Structure 1
Amino acid sequence: MGRFGPDRARKYISPDPRTRHTIWSLLIGGSLNALSTYGFNQTQVQRYMCVRSTRGAKQALFINAVGAAIVIILSSFIGVILYAYYAGCDPLTAKRVSDVDQIFPYFVMDVLGGKPGLPGVFLACIFSGSLSTISSGLNSLAAVIIEDVYKGLMRRKLSDERQGLISKIFSVVLGAVVMLLTYVVSYLGSVLNAALSLFGVLSGPIMGVFFLGFFFPQANRHGGLVGFLTSLALQLWIFLGAQITKNQMTSVRLNLTIDNCTEPVNITTILTSSPIKRDPLIDFYSVSYMWYTPIAVLSVLIVGLTVSYLTRPHKPNEIDPKLLIPIGDACCCCLPKRIRDFLRCGVDYENYFQEKHAYESDVEMKETHLYDTSKKHSFSSNTASRTLSVTDANTKHTSSSNVVSPTPSLTNRNRKRKYPSNVVSPTLSVAKNGDVAYDNSALNLADEEFLKTRF
């Protein structure tokens, strides 16, 4: 900040949403973008569902967070290196590349072009990363169309073989559509800017609907649908307006020159006789793409709650508490109980938490009982094994007392004769004190399934 001066430092902490990157846009917009990716994205949810347990999904998510942080840090270092390398001779200003996304491949060919094989490795890495992302996206789109549209809305029943065939057909068709859309995306400027903008436009309203259902029990389906469509229309309006009027916006690129270029550069400047008419909504279209997701979520909440109250909102006793997130208890736990009860919107969380705590205590008690019972049986079995007949090495005499052995035909190591016939195997059904051992198969499966679905 000291190098760029106080004006630029003040710009980076400004709350103005038109500034492309500020501390607030990165913290708020970046956090909501990450939450939308890892919490509500179809491709990510499918990966969670492939893991056997919730704990395994959390571990995979933490591993992914570490890997993503490493990738972001390395990408930032690459950007710093590119800026330092071409600060005195900008390839885009010198017309050596036609787009800012071509600078990195140009750098690879400029630096590593004389080393055979390395440019090919770079190209292979680019294609492998692209194919892995595209394949998971096509799979998710095909799954959504089959499960939610074909089998959900149209109520069609499919066998596993036919569902696999239709999924492959949809993947091919969607792949062709994606290839055609690349022509449109090429006019949207930087790939990263276009990808994050489209992601905020399309996924922001979806996350807003989830927020509406999680935190507000009064919301109904009419409010969710109208809020989603309104937010999507607003986001598309901002995005398309920004693309149409991008020539009228102020450039946000860092200062680059061509003074240190070794080869002569010919720059042609086109002078226009009349200035371009400024769009009256240019300030509205100039909102940073980092704010697309927060704007989408906020618009869904405002419109959804308004429509819900106008079209008979849900009553607190009509909603299952397990489907809601008590935001007052999660974020405002230090507030007085009266305020927390107001933030609960009339939902009886106390009874739900008591039932959930009783269920968890019951499960923990059963698991402890199972552990203690198995441990007692293991101890009895080990004791019985240790009371086997012992052969004296000097007298070669074998005890024939009533010994409990795990197998009735156990053979002595030193002498080739079996134990007497009065040796019996241990039984684990009833203990000596008369207590019946706890049998795991005796659990009431219907009650277990009911409690699992309840909590």
Structure 2
Amino acid sequence: CLPLTADGDMAMFPTALSSMVSFLSAITLIGTPSEIYISGTMYTYIAISWILSAMIAAHVFMPKFREMKFTSAYEYLEKRFDRTVRICVSLSFSSMMLIYMAIVLYAPALALSQTTGLNIWLSVVSIGVICTFYSSVGGMKAIIWTDVLQAVVIVIGLLAVIVQGLITVGGFKQTFSIASQGGRIQFDSISFDPRTRFTVWSLVIGGCFNSLSTYGFNQTQIQRYIAIRSTRGAKQALLIDAIGGSFIVLLTILIGVIMYAYYADCDPYTNKQIEHIDQILPYFVMEVLGDKKGIPGIFLACVFSGSLSTISSGLNSLAAVIIEDFYKGLMSRQLSDERQGFISKILSVVLGACIMLLTYVVSHLGSILNATLSLFGVLEGPNMGVFVLGFLFPQANRRGALVGFFSSLALQLWMFLGAQITQNQMESDSLPLSIANCSGTMNSTLMNWTTTTMVSTFLK
């Protein structure tokens, strides 16, 4: 399975960086700063959940997957239960990844549209075609080494925005003073009310379970476990992935604080200068840093790197799942590495086209971060439940796995749909924004921005 698992011959550190950026997409780079801008810094606790879940995955689940050496994680479910369970969970994963990658594709197109004036759909098609071509050319080794370069670009881009932003606002002290006065610096929400946007419990405990589904059972991650030379190296890679991811998300949180300090008295969303709250970061980059040569370009490279790494990894993992779980199983055929590589490239092109079509649906969702969190809660939670049942409960059978999977899926869908129906009836807990000092504005306007209510907790 050389094209899909790199023949198990990859070094630990580059694979760790590749794993890190696979889910630190443009959703994190654009969505997290806008989330901090409207909701404050409670989201910082998510970093703790990532490290905890990575430790659990590294010591409990990852060694077992390496022992089995399955190309598709869902082969385990057939071995443990039966083929029906395998197909159901595999279909759920495939649906989730298609929608997730559509969201990832939409985010950089949004940034490109805001910063260059290009039509957003022209941007979607351009980015989608380029990324699909790039993903179909090489196998796992090419994706991993390209991800390493993209990880470097992401860090450089974020640091460039932070440094220039702090200089513009007046330094750390001034930035945090303004943000504190606006209620953005907060770490003390311990409410047990499930309607509260962010609490310590939902972020650390709920976030741990949610990110465990990514670190422990997501096909994209498991392919990287198998690609590393040793189990010890795979454990180290998981921890580096979590720590590095936490560092990057902290950088995006700092950017959100900087943006609020700059726009504290003239919010561009309330003032109708941007159409969506997720446009605020590219708008900030162009308004504040647009005259700094190279900064807008570095920012765009940063965002595109996040999306390219995620989509290329996602296409590769989806190709592996479709070939192993559906093509080989339904056709009852064995494939040579050469034939499998050819089919995976064709699948990458077809899946890339599907993702571009799904992007139209994504454009009508609310906050891209909240949309992604809700999606992962609905679909990846039940998937993880089946794996945990199989690993930790020896007496569980196929009937219990199927009943549990569909019951969990139905409950999650009920919560998700209920949240969509009632979201306008619930009081928003977003923090106030002001346009008191905008040009031509005489009165202060406070705006509570209502986002898509989150069903579950939080992922990478």
Question: Could you tell me the TM-score, scaled by structure 1's length?
Answer: 0.56
Q: Is the alpha carbon distance of 1:129 and 1:53 closer, same or farther for their aligned partners in structure 2, counting shifts above 3 Å?
A: same
> For each residue in 1:348-387, what CA deviation from the matched residue of structure 2 results, as whole angstroms up to 9, or x when unmatched?
xxxxxxxxxxxxxxxxxxxxxxxxxxxxxxxxxxxxxxxx
**1:290 and 2:453 equivalent?**
no
Alignment match, 1:78: 255
Q: How far is 1:10 from its partner? A: 11
Q: Which amino acid aligns with 1:226?
A: V
Q: Which amino acid aligns with 1:182?
A: T
> For each residue in 1:304-340, what CA deviation from the matched residue of structure 2 results, as whole angstroms up to 9, or x when unmatched?
xxxxxxxxxxxxxxxxxxxxxxxxxxxxxxxxxxxxx
Question: Where do residues 19-418 of structure 1 align in structure 2 (5 Å cutoff)?
Answer: 19-264=196-441, 288-291=454-457
Contact residue 203 and residue 458 of structure 2 kept, 8 A? no
Q: Within 1, Cα distance between the matches of 2:271 and 2:307?
A: 29
Contact residue 94 and residue 267 of structure 1 kept, 8 A? no
Contact residue 20 and residue 252 of structure 1 kept, 8 A? yes
Q: Which amino acid aligns with 1:90?
A: D
Structure with higher RCO (Cα < 8 A, 6+ apart):
2
Contact residue 92 and residue 99 of structure 1 kept, 8 A? yes
More helix as a share of residues: 2
Contact residue 209 and residue 228 of structure 1 kept, 8 A? yes
Q: Within 2, Cα distance between the matches of 1:48 and 1:110?
A: 43
Q: How far is 1:70 from its partner? A: 1.0
Segments of structure 2 that go 5 or more residues without pairing to the other structure are 1-41, 43-179
Alignment match, 2:170: none
Q: How far is 1:291 from its partner? A: 4.5
Q: How far is 1:214 from its partner? A: 2.2
Alignment match, 1:276: none
Contact residue 18 and residue 286 of structure 1 kept, 8 A? no
Contact residue 216 and residue 222 of structure 2 kept, 8 A? yes
Q: Within 2, Cα distance between the matches of 1:11 and 1:29?
A: 17
Stretch moving more, 256-265 or 32-41: 256-265
Report percent identity of matched pairs.
Answer: 68
> For each residue in 1:229-263, what CA deviation from the matched residue of structure 2 results, as whole angstroms up to 9, or x when unmatched?
22222222322332343322322221111101124
Q: What is the aligned residue count? A: 276
Specify the SS of the correspondent of 2:215.
Answer: helix
Specify the SS of the correspondent of 2:387.
Answer: helix
Q: How far is 1:116 from its partner? A: 3.1
Q: Within 2, Cα distance between the matches of 1:240 and 1:131?
A: 31
Q: Within 1, Cα distance between the matches of 2:416 and 2:433?
A: 28
Q: Is the alpha carbon distance of 1:267 and 1:240 closer, same or farther for their aligned partners in structure 2, counting shifts above 3 Å?
A: farther
Q: How far is 1:221 from its partner? A: 0.7
Q: Which amino acid aligns with 1:289?
A: V
Q: How far is 1:157 from its partner? A: 2.1
Q: Within 1, Cα distance between the matches of 2:457 and 2:306?
A: 27
Q: How far is 1:268 from its partner? A: 12
Contact residue 18 and residue 288 of structure 1 kept, 8 A? no
Q: Within 2, Cα distance between the matches of 1:286 and 1:138?
A: 27
Q: Within 2, Cα distance between the matches of 1:262 and 1:252?
A: 28
> For each residue in 1:383-429, what CA deviation from the matched residue of structure 2 results, as whole angstroms up to 9, or x when unmatched?
xxxxxxxxxxxxxxxxxxxxxxxxxxxxxxxxxxxxxxxxxxxxxxx
> For each residue in 1:45-103, what CA deviation from the matched residue of structure 2 results, as whole angstroms up to 9, or x when unmatched?
11111001101111212221221121011111111111111111111100001111000
Q: How far is 1:201 from its partner? A: 1.3
Contact residue 390 and residue 396 of structure 2 kept, 8 A? yes
Contact residue 20 and residue 290 of structure 1 kept, 8 A? no
Q: Is the alpha carbon distance of 1:12 and 1:292 closer, same or farther for their aligned partners in structure 2, counting shifts above 3 Å?
A: same
